[in-house]
A and B are shown apart, each in its own frame.
Chain A
Amino acid sequence: MVPITTFHYLVVAAALFVLGVIGVLTRRNVVIVLMSIELILNAVNLNLVAFSRMWGNLNGQVFSIFVTVDAAAEAAVGLGILIAFFRNRETINVDEIDLLKW
């Protein structure tokens, strides 16, 4: 069995990132779009921790803690916006949230 190198972790992180991008670009449900953004942030965290292990210091892990804090704040505010919008318009389809379209 080939030993697990940094390359393997980067491939998993790239796959998760691309799956998150597909979810953001193609789904119509706003909650699923927000969950795909969380997938993207998790892929970035995995990248950071893998490189932290490769170089042997803890900077990547501390940075990933900050990314997690930022993801929590962003999820809270995004879901607050979603609830406020749902209260006014009764829809959570991205296609129908088009007030700013010309």
Chain B
Amino acid sequence: MNPVLNSGMAPVATPWFFYVLGGLAVASGVAVITRRNAVHAALALIVTLLSVAGLYLMLYAPFVAGVQIIVYAGGIMVLFLFVIMLVNIERSSKERRFNRMWPVGLAAACALMALFVSAIVKGKTVLTDPRTGQALWPDIIAKLPESSNTQQIAGMLYGEAGRMGQYTFAFEIASLLLLVAILGAVIMTKKKI
């Protein structure tokens, strides 16, 4: 199921695009968790989602970038904004932002960050691929052809040429999950069941 690797393509963007998009994603992520007003946090999360979609475009994943913009920034965040406006939280924008145990949470998150950094650094220098003998995290070597990305994802999800795709069963289970979620969300908000 491996797609054809096209090795002669020029890079899609200079490194400055990555630093701008990555910095914007992290900065608006900080804004999400520190804003007092929930609407400001939702708008900062939209900026994060759009910059992550830009990072997907740099990673030769145009379909995932489109799904991110349409579903995440266009669907989920609109849902969040509607709920923020339904739940009248004028009162909460004047209260304390963080709960009383915030040093413990911050320490746990710093421990988690230390774990991630050690895993990334160790994987970069120590672990080697047993097949090729190179470092397991090499530079980006494979250049996926961009023009048929959607067709190949569709082939993996739905199947092609009369066969079932690699992820067709998971796709059907995901649609069942969405049906259950819709039923649950509708029943949860009814006044009389």
Contacts and interface: CB of A to CB of B under 8 A. Distances in A.
Contact of B3 (A12, A19, A57): A57
Contacts of B147: none
A72 B180 CA distance: 12
B164 interface: no
Given A46-B55, A92-B92, A79 B61 contact: no
Contacts of B45: 35, 38-39
Contacts, number: 252
Interface of B: 1-3, 5, 14-16, 18, 22, 25-26, 29-30, 32-33, 35, 38, 41-42, 45, 48-49, 52, 55-56, 58-61, 63-64, 67-68, 71-72, 75-76, 79-80, 83-84, 86-87, 89, 92, 95-102, 104-106, 108-109, 112-113, 116-117, 120, 124, 137-142, 144, 149, 152-153, 156-157, 166-167, 170, 174, 177-178, 180-182, 184-186, 188-189, 191
Given A18-B112, A25-B104, 15 more contacts: A5-B140, A17-B116, A26-B33, A28-B95, A35-B41, A39-B45, A42-B52, A62-B153, A64-B64, A68-B72, A71-B76, A77-B181, A79-B83, A83-B83, A87-B191
